[in-house]
Structure 1
Amino acid sequence: MSADPFQAETQAGRLLLRFSGPLDTAAAVRHWEEAHRKARGAGAVTLDASGVTALDSGGAALLVSLAGPEAEWHEPTDATARGVLDRFRSGLGPPAAPQRHHHRHFRPITALGAWTVGRFRLLLARLDFFGEAAVTTAGLTAKPWQLRWSEVLRHLDEAGTRAFGLCLLIGTLFGVILAFQSSVPMRQFGAEIFIPQLVGISVTRELGPLLAGVVLAGRTGSSYAAELGTMRVNEEVDALRTMGLDPMAWLLVPRIVASTLVMPALSMVMNISAIIGMGFVMAGLGFPPIAVANQLEQWLSLGDLAGGLGKSAIFGLAIGYVGCRCGLNAGAGPRAVGDAATGAVVGGIISLVLLDGIFAVLFFRLGW
């Protein structure tokens, strides 16, 4: 540290105040009175701080207080010291004027236009995500050995095997309820023998895949969204991109493949359990199992079962996609994961209903 960073001398009628070396708070305190006393007694002052090598807020306060409106400045040449001096000067500036909150007048046309533009941008973002997911899935379908099959098996176990018990319970109860409710009007016409036909066709064609889809959306869709949303909040998805890994191929495709493959199995479990539940009701009404089996064999075709299972695979694809999209597009903050899981369940059920309506119209037109 320099022994005397301050020197004062007179040159051509001007007072030269020269500072050199580190000018910290301690040095500023030592020379504050002397420097100001000499500056007050001089007409013209030249302030030379070009030799200052280190500066803090105390030294900057000394230099700024000595620099009058007519003083000649030689600022520090050291970049760090000059930066400290500039920040100190900016802090002495006038306070920013308070922002005035202007009253916003309600303009229906402007609000409608802003809403329309926002919906259109959201649609473009979803189409962009769908296109990227479709291209990635198609690329891995052409090269199945690059797919992470261990992850596919793990999600098959979580989405399928662990959901069998719930599907058995719901299917059995639903078969019992549907058979009991059908028996009330059927009994008026003595047509209780046709209950297996009603329950079998309705379950295999519509209700089995639909109920299995609701179970998958509630369990697996929300799980996908919560897991991927947590990874998004923790910046693990960005870390994958930084390492050169595609999050679509690494995270999305195994989950979509698993949900697509597991849905026909869940739908089949739902169908069988509903028919078993209906069989209990028929036995209670006095119909032997052979009569129920004959009715199912006579009226239930393989096409009904195949149509329901094929439809359920599309349901699984949609549910997996919606869950992954909600998770990967989760925002920041503590509510992001919860919002993503809620959006996955709601979006999955809505997609189920829309797809089921499309398939109903398509099957009707095809006479299936």
Structure 2
Amino acid sequence: MSDAAAFETRDDGGARVLALSGRLDTGDAAEIWSRLVREAASGGAVIDLARLEAVDTTGATLLLVAEAAAPGNAIRNASPRVADVLARVRTARDAPQPKPPARLGPLTLLGRMTWNAGRAGLDSVAFLGELTLIALGTLARPWRLRFREVLRHLDEAGTRAFPLTVLLGFLLGVILAFQSAIPLRRFGAEIFVPNLVGISLLRELGPLMAGVILSGRTGSAYAAELGTMSVNEEVAALRVMGIDPMALLVLPRVLAGVIVMPVLSLLLTLAGLAGMALIMGVFGFPLTTVLNQLSQWLELTDLMGGLLKACFFGLAIAAIGCRAGLGAGRGPRAVGDAATGAVVGGIVSIILLDGLFAVIYERLGL
């Protein structure tokens, strides 16, 4: 085993010589770095490598730093192997460094964001068009649809979400009734609390809160499942085998989302009405009074309008979740990013759809 690197200073005919010996690797370079550079900084030194057996890149870097520490320093008597390492390190050091990317101006950043948003929009339209074609083809040949997969997703997205939906709906009804009764009590109008809460739940809050539940539970689950399959190349393997992932993976999930969303909305609304009835009972109003108020003010169009919105909410949430999963990238963060995008996209989409339906219902006089 060769000795560790060492160096000594001597005079040779009036010239100051820094002689190194042994093997100059990373550990030894750290030990002698400061002393060697300090000696070389005096200038006019010959760095003698005649007895240096081997050197790694760290050691070569030390030798080049010592050579450049002062004018007149020079490396001499390097063996071919040491000289080769020195040459490679010197070439890497002297190579032109890549320039940092230029900072983009505000207009360029705006253009890039617009371009990316346009491409994402076109991809979403293409995805929706492909899904529509698959759905129409399935209507003509219904045996292509895997009903067992639809039932499985109905159970996961619907049945298993019932406890959370009932709890959230009941608490929402309690909060709405209590907060509405406080200002109405000033005018002796607590009797109108069932009207306010009932219409709010049927037309707006029932479908909207059910959509939030579906987006948080099911949309993220769709994105995570399909994102994992994309990362593991399972979706690509299906395409290689001639199986359309849209028909096998996406259509059952979207169909389950469209079917289960009105059920969740109705269940949340009923639970909210039950919570409201409880608060009204606390305020001294019997159940018959609450039911009479609801029957007088609520109409079938309120219920059907809310359920229709819920169907479109389910379609948007399931499609966005599947789109995020199939479009997942590569790497450890891909699945998490897909799930996050599915939840955010689903919530934003149902809010936009809710605003669109509000305008349509107002124009239609519903």
TM-score greater than 0.5 by the shorter chain: yes
1:171 aligned to which of 166, 169, 172? 169
1:252 aligned to which of 250, 253, 256? 250
2:205 aligned to which of 203, 207, 222? 207
1:224 aligned to which of 222, 225, 234? 222
Q: CA deviation at 1:133?
A: 1.6
The answer to whether the aligner puts 1:279 opposite 2:286 as a matched pair is no
Name the counterpart of 2:30: none
Name the counterpart of 1:239: 237
Q: What residue identity is the alignment partner of 1:172? A: F
Q: CA deviation at 1:227?
A: 0.4
Name the counterpart of 2:357: 359
Q: What residue identity is the alignment partner of 1:146? A: R
Change (3 A) 1:107 1:220: closer
Per-residue CA deviations over 1:151-180 (Å, capped at 9, x if unaligned) read 000000000000011010000000000000
Unaligned runs of 5+ in 2: 1-87
Alignment of 1:107-186 (within 5 A): 107-108=104-105, 109-186=107-184
Change (3 A) 1:247 1:363: same
The secondary structure found in structure 2 opposite 1:331 is coil
Alignment of 1:37-76 (within 5 A): none
In the aligned structure 2, how far is the partner of 1:305 from the partner of 1:120?
37
TM-score (norm 1): 0.72
1:319 aligned to which of 317, 320, 331? 317
Q: CA deviation at 1:110?
A: 3.9
Alignment of 1:8-87 (within 5 A): none
Name the counterpart of 2:82: none
Q: What residue identity is the alignment partner of 1:314? A: F
1:303 aligned to which of 289, 301, 322? 301
Q: What residue identity is the alignment partner of 1:322? A: I
Q: CA deviation at 1:124?
A: 2.2
The secondary structure found in structure 2 opposite 1:101 is coil
Computing the radius of gyration from Cα coordinates, the structure with the larger value is 1
Sequence identity percentage: 59
Q: CA deviation at 1:351?
A: 0.3
Change (3 A) 1:107 1:208: closer
Per-residue CA deviations over 1:308-332 (Å, capped at 9, x if unaligned) read 0111011000000000000000000
Paired residues in the alignment total 276
In the aligned structure 1, how far is the partner of 2:231 from the partner of 2:216?
22
Alignment of 1:183-202 (within 5 A): 183-202=181-200
Name the counterpart of 2:267: 269
In the aligned structure 1, how far is the partner of 2:231 from the partner of 2:136?
28
Unaligned runs of 5+ in 1: 1-91
Change (3 A) 1:113 1:281: closer
Per-residue CA deviations over 1:216-274 (Å, capped at 9, x if unaligned) read 00000000000000000110000100110000000000000000000010001001000
Q: CA deviation at 1:143?
A: 2.2
Name the counterpart of 1:89: none
